[in-house]
Structure 1
Amino acid sequence: MSRRLLRFGPLLLLVLFLSGCSSVMSELPPAGERHGFWVTYCVGPLSDLLDWFAEILFDQYGLAILLLTLIVRFLILPLTLKQYRSSKQMQLLQPELKKMKEKYKDDVKKQQEETMKLFQQHGVNPLAGCFPLIVQMPILIALYQAIMRNETIKEHAFLWLKLGEPDHLYILPVVAALTTYLQQKVMATQMNPQMKALMFIFPIMIFFMSLNFASALPLYWVYTNTFTVVQSYLLYRRPSKK
């Protein structure tokens, strides 16, 4: 069960991501209307931070989105590192797990017992990599909604972009798709063959969605993708000192 969860976890995140995007198509109330726990204590404060950052950054909401994205990503960095360490531990145990699977291929119960003993011996929790991911999701969704439900953003421009309208020059959709591809390319060593197919499907989806969404959202995708590319390169491509 845990292996299946780890295998299809990224696909589950994709479904959650698209579910979040579908909410843009519905008419959500602005973040200024504080109704309910989610908006009052999660989305609303992040939206207020966007306004405050824009004030100190010369009324540039494009820079405010960048600053808030960086702050949130650095705040959840400890969770990301924990997920990374869990992933590396599981990688180190793969040869032993493969041998055990071959040795007890006719006895599934014994195979499971020996697998759990191996995990306990090395202090590895196969679900440890999922917990940080689950914790991160509400934070990132709150940031996403804070951007999309901030009415003031829609009235501002950044570079050639009108943040409340799609980029009719198609530059931003191309950049969003490219950074999405680069993000998955850097993390390709952590993917199974099924998930590697998303390296081509996901950027194409991002491109077509960016054609229709207000530029503030693809701009956020570009920022967070770029951060993830740098973070993943440092974590997964840098040789371990051990």
Structure 2
Amino acid sequence: MLMAHMLPMGFFETIMWPLHWAVSGLLVLAHTIFSPFTGNDTGLTWVLSIVLLTVVIRTLLIPLFVRQIRSTRNMQVIQPKLRELQEKYSHDREKMGMEMQKLYKEEGVNPFASCFPILLQMPIFFALFQVLNGVSRGNPVGTFLIDRPHLIESMQQATIFGAQISETFWPVTDGFGAVQIVAVILIITMTATMFLSQRQLMGKNMPPEAMTGQFAQQQKMMLYLFPLIFAVGGVNFPIGLLIYWTVTNLWSMAQQFYVIRNNPTPNTPAYAAWEERLRAKGHDPKMYKPGQKIPRKPVERFGTAQSGDDATGASDDTQATKETRPKVQRQQPRRQSRSKRRR
């Protein structure tokens, strides 16, 4: 079966075949799970199938996402050192490049690591686009959909809020209808969540010294450029693909919020908020590091007295008791005579 599907394909299709196989298999599996509860041919079943596919993909990408956050944070921390090198070796670009590579190696930073999750997700995005686009055009992609023609027809006819999930905003054939309305709402939501996710990272988890320089300019460019690209290209995305990308952005926002809240970069607003939460719970922020598990009860240092008014009050009461206690002078026993002892 593998060779039968691979031989007629071109080079690109051959490379993408494993992803087509996986995406179509996950969609069919999710449809099998939800169809007994929400119906075999309903739009809700296919939407839930796409959501489950998103959750599975994002769960698999969690290690790379955490690595991306750490790499971005490390790049932010070394920005002052990079600017010093750029100013010091501005006349010698070769020497500056060597020193920058040396700094990356010493700090354990990979300047390209922050792009890995995006680059890895793009083939998955293309695979899902081709699978859903193939369904909308009646040209199924993926082994599990090719072998199940009845699911192709089911997905083509499935609707959500009156719009078929296989249709696209453009071209507009029958006027501005339910497809265009749902597509516009999803495009706005998709671009807004993408913008807010990047804005959350720059506004809360970047130190002030990292907000200037070439790296900061690149971050600001990505902040506005990526949402604009997806907003323009979204008019050609099927409704199902817009649902996938919107759910992906929502997942990224929640995941990023959790990482920034519990493992913030030093000298950032998120780090200051993390310290305030520790103090409110009675902990000393100097005793912990971001990402470290914090016990519920504050840990008292060895040999220290109780803190707060209770300790002060207890010591005052003890001192007052010592001062007001009457002093009793001990009397030495008198020596008795032999006659008195006999009595």
TM-score (norm: length of structure 1): 0.71
Structure 2 partner of 1:49:
26
Please give the alpha-carbon distance, in whole angstroms, between the structure 1 residues aligned to 2:105 and 2:221. Answer: 34
Instruction: Say if 2:241 is the partner of 1:217.
Output: yes
More off after superposition, 43-52 vs 100-109:
100-109
Residues 193 and 54 (structure 1), Cα distance of their counterparts in 2 relative to 1, 3 Å cut:
same
Structure 1 partner of 2:286:
none
Please give the alpha-carbon distance, in whole angstroms, between the structure 1 residues aligned to 2:233 and 2:115. Answer: 28
In structure 2, the residue corresponding to 1:124 is in which secondary structure? coil
In structure 2, the residue corresponding to 1:106 is in which secondary structure? coil
TM-score (norm: length of structure 2): 0.52
Residues 193 and 96 (structure 1), Cα distance of their counterparts in 2 relative to 1, 3 Å cut:
closer
How many Å apart are 1:75 and its aligned residue?
0.5
Q: Deviations over 1:95-150 (max 9, x none)?
A: 12222222333343433333233223223333444445433432333233333334
Instruction: Say if 2:91 is the partner of 1:106.
Output: yes
Structure 2 partner of 1:173:
187
**Structure showing the higher helix proportion among its residues:** 1
In structure 1, the residue corresponding to 2:129 is in which secondary structure? helix
Maintained 8 Å contact 2:192/2:227: yes
One-letter code aligned to 1:89:
N
Q: How many residues align?
A: 210
Instruction: Say if 2:22 is the partner of 1:34.
Output: no
Maintained 8 Å contact 1:79/1:133: no
Please give the alpha-carbon distance, in whole angstroms, between the structure 2 residues aligned to 1:130 and 1:219. Answer: 23
What stretches of structure 2 of length at least 5 have no aligned partner? 141-151, 169-178, 207-214, 266-288, 291-343
Maintained 8 Å contact 1:46/1:143: yes
Maintained 8 Å contact 2:132/2:238: no
Maintained 8 Å contact 2:20/2:131: yes
Please give the alpha-carbon distance, in whole angstroms, between the structure 2 residues aligned to 1:47 and 1:75. Answer: 17
Please give the alpha-carbon distance, in whole angstroms, between the structure 2 residues aligned to 1:116 and 1:213. Answer: 41
Maintained 8 Å contact 1:61/1:158: no
Percent identity, aligned pairs only, is: 31
How many Å apart are 1:50 and its aligned residue?
0.4
One-letter code aligned to 2:132:
I
Greater relative CO (CA pairs within 8 A, separation 6+)? 1
Aligned-CA RMSD value: 3.0
What stretches of structure 1 of length at least 5 have no aligned partner? 1-32
Q: Which has the larger radius of gyration?
A: 2
Structure 2 partner of 1:19:
none
Maintained 8 Å contact 2:133/2:166: no
How many Å apart are 1:171 and its aligned residue?
2.9
One-letter code aligned to 2:220:
K
Please give the alpha-carbon distance, in whole angstroms, between the structure 1 residues aligned to 2:91 and 2:72. Answer: 28
